[in-house]
Structure 1
């Protein structure tokens, strides 16, 4: 089974309240408690695709102890630094169909000693795995952005493939260190002042700038529209199947996870992004973030359309997202499905 190390600095306890219909009686509240945060949602989808995951994180105080139990219950290996203080978490009320935040905290800032220990753990686990995902905490001030520059550089120096799913200062810092694959949205690029305009040419110019700054390959998502992949000199347009949306949150993290699952078993980036597109498409049909099943994702791959855009030295080619039987077989049988994250 392939292994991936995920840098998830400050995972959260997530509490979501929903309505549960009761025949003849009306409604009653239903409460869901899970571990959450970007890295956790990515790790959850990786597990669904049969990938072994090590989560590198700091677990803080009472909430941190709860998070550890939840993560280990899902089958993750947890390389954690434990400390006293206030952890991260939120309470959402979704009884009206939309998420309303009742309370939320990003937790305490990481101190120097905790950050040093976390850095060492991620370096160690990344080297062992050979592929690392760098994700961020919910809060802006939890750890210095420069941490991502140093991690990206040191991991790649040790022959670790580095995938980054970040924006803002963290993304820019990681690019300084150098990354193998960057995934970012057009909205995030616009907010960072790296994208002017909405046309294809403007996005490709932004991609060129990201590559100049240190990204080897780049994925740019565009909400509700086909996403773009710059793979070496080629530019691909990926159209996922259009499914009914239950909750759009987590689709981007599932795309990242599905792509990394493919890369971990030796798929080319072109093949791997088809797996990612199918995983992201399935996730929006579900209330659980980073959830889905391998069999459905494999079938949805058939509906993913890959089109190579002209103008970069290659003939345009449109094809469905099928890969060889060996490529599909390389994705191991999925681990037992945990209760969905809400």
Structure 2
């Protein structure tokens, strides 16, 4: 089983429009609502593949109740820790060419008592078959930025491996606790390492900076340039083709889910890339199921093309 912890989940409302033009009245083509939050998405992807998972999250108000209902409908076991304020709603505007504009609200304020209850519930959700705990996403306002560091320490004491997918101080502070895996995107990797990431070589070096600070393995998602995986054996780079991109929302979460589902070692990079690419081909923040995933065209090799400029920098 893989247990996820999401301190700041959301209801994700995706609206598909022909084109986004500021200051105009736009007619939506389609809209749908999904459960949101990085850890929530990881659990959704795992459940879609028939993998046992439990999603532990903070939930408040009518939105929190709706979030729980949506996850129940998708076969995700939910452990909801109540908070006084309502769960946030995020809005995604998706255009046909795959351009996505996302409006993320800050979320409800979180007290120390509520955060401690979340950490306790996460450990309580683990069973003898738990292989990973994944702490994912931003922290809600007023939450202590050592949240994930505390999760790593507690989980290691309980004998579990821990993955962290976050940003800012929450990511930086967890490194000293030696998480088994961190999964930043390109921007988060650059910010945490304190170096620009414009080339593949930059990404490899930045990943090694995070390893030097305590992360045992770094899986950095690079958008259309795939991902790099840095561990004690060196750095790999992998890519997977996306035939028709619709939305990048949740692609990194699907990448992490595929990596953990495949065991979390070097051999897991291929499945992870395939899951992430599959999510990019789906609308909104939908998570891929087995029929969506195609391993054909996935390539993995040592990260030796250090001068290659990342597509986002071209």
- How many pairs align? 295
2:226·2:239 contact (CA, 8 Å) conserved in 1?
Answer: yes
Q: 1:253 to 1:14 in 2, by over 3 A?
A: same
The answer as to 2:117 corresponding to 1:130 is: no
1:23-79 per-residue CA deviation (whole Å, 9 max, x = no partner) reads xxxx87644222212122221111122211111111111211111111111111111
* 8, 24, 29: which one aligns with 2:6: 8
Report the aligned-residue RMSD. 2.6
TM-score normalised over the length of structure 1: 0.78
1:244-269 per-residue CA deviation (whole Å, 9 max, x = no partner) reads 21112221111111111111xxxx62
1:110-168 per-residue CA deviation (whole Å, 9 max, x = no partner) reads 1122112111011222465231111023x652522101111111101221011111221
* 302, 305, 310: which one aligns with 1:308: 302
CA distance in 1, matches of 2:92, 2:135: 26
Q: 1:148 to 1:279 in 2, by over 3 A?
A: same
1:179-233 per-residue CA deviation (whole Å, 9 max, x = no partner) reads 1111112322223352235344433332222112111111122232242112322
CA distance in 1, matches of 2:87, 2:137: 15
CA distance in 1, matches of 2:101, 2:234: 42
Question: SS where residue 51 of structure 1 aligns?
Answer: coil
2:198 maps to which residue?
198
CA distance in 1, matches of 2:80, 2:284: 24
2:261 maps to which residue?
261
Structure 1 residue ranges without an equivalent (≥5): 21-26, 312-342
Question: SS where residue 217 of structure 2 aligns?
Answer: strand
Q: 1:159 to 1:290 in 2, by over 3 A?
A: farther
Deviation at 1:293, TM superposition (A): 2.3
2:106 maps to which residue?
106
1:127-206 pair list within 5 angstroms: 128=128, 129-137=130-138, 141=141, 143-192=143-192, 194-196=194-196, 198-206=198-206
TM-score normalised over the length of structure 2: 0.84
